[in-house]
Structure 1
């Protein structure tokens, strides 16, 4: 079993290195064969207004990063970058599609949309088109270092601590209402 896990991690690591070396801005994600998809399209309920519901978690995510707009089933434009404090402030009372219930997701919430079998980006591109293959802030601060907070990297699907003064992408989330 241990040998199988090592082989699996080696394959994932090899794919990540290959993806990094061969990445082009408009390229499709590189996915590892033999590893089951973790965010298949059937876990999402598409909405026509730039939102998408992750059915198992009952969370509704913005399909585009802040700074992009959703037009004709695509995210258009360049994502804006924010420090952690700016991202938290932005989410308070953020108005989108007649809702002000948007918030910065915690590390576990943002982690549910990571596609673990793909890199660059590590996300379902049908559900979240044109996602920058880079870090996204979460609302989860570090417990050991008050100058750092957790981010999720859609380059390779990992979570890591980043300095709060770094400029990073933002995607907001809200909990689905009972009628949704």
Structure 2
């Protein structure tokens, strides 16, 4: 049995490492969201010292684990939402007691969401030390697209690009709040 465990460890360790690999060009490209720009509030939130916004460290559907200061996924998937559902997440969070002692959470606008893009990294284009386990995917903003009622702005954290998406498509969400 020990042999089997050893073989599985040898096989799965490189796969796990590859799955958590995030290419970054720190030094070649100036960091846009260095860790020093954020204060970890030790309650599942971080404060951006530049914008003064307070962000949930984890994407919606992930669970913040205080003992490891990390974001965990219950069943292996982060929940995705259509735009209307993403907007309602904040109301649901706030009406059910809030998070980290606050009940003023909301979906960020496109400017705010774009402010946490890390241009020196991709796959995902975000500082994983500040926002651990962030999926390399599309995240909704609260900003509707002026050119058509059926679209809203989002950030593609795969490569750190803004895009407009059909409001009925399903993507990730992260909540933010203003300081008291």
- Indicate the TM-score class for this superposition, using the shorter chain for normalisation: 0.7 to 0.9
State the match for 1:141 in structure 2: 144
Matched positions, count: 155
Of residues 64-73 and 89-98 in structure 1, the stretch that sits farther from structure 2 once superposed is: 89-98
State the match for 1:164 in structure 2: 167
Matches within 5 A, 1:1-180: 24-31=18-25, 33-71=27-65, 72-77=68-73, 78-94=77-93, 95-177=98-180
- After superposition, the CA RMSD in angstroms is 1.5
8 Å CA contact 1:93, 1:101 repeated in 2: no
Look at both structures and tell me which one has the larger radius of gyration over its CA atoms: 2
Name the CA distance, whole Å, in 1 between partners of 2:137 and 2:174: 12
TM-score (norm 2): 0.82
8 Å CA contact 2:86, 2:107 repeated in 1: yes
- In structure 2, the gaps of 5 or more residues are 1-16
Name the CA distance, whole Å, in 2 between partners of 1:32 and 1:49: 28
The alpha-carbon distance between structure 1 residues 171 and 33, as it changes in their structure 2 partners (threshold 3 A), is same
State the match for 1:3 in structure 2: none
- In structure 1, the gaps of 5 or more residues are 1-22
CA offset at residue 32 of structure 1?
6.0
CA offset at residue 93 of structure 1?
5.0
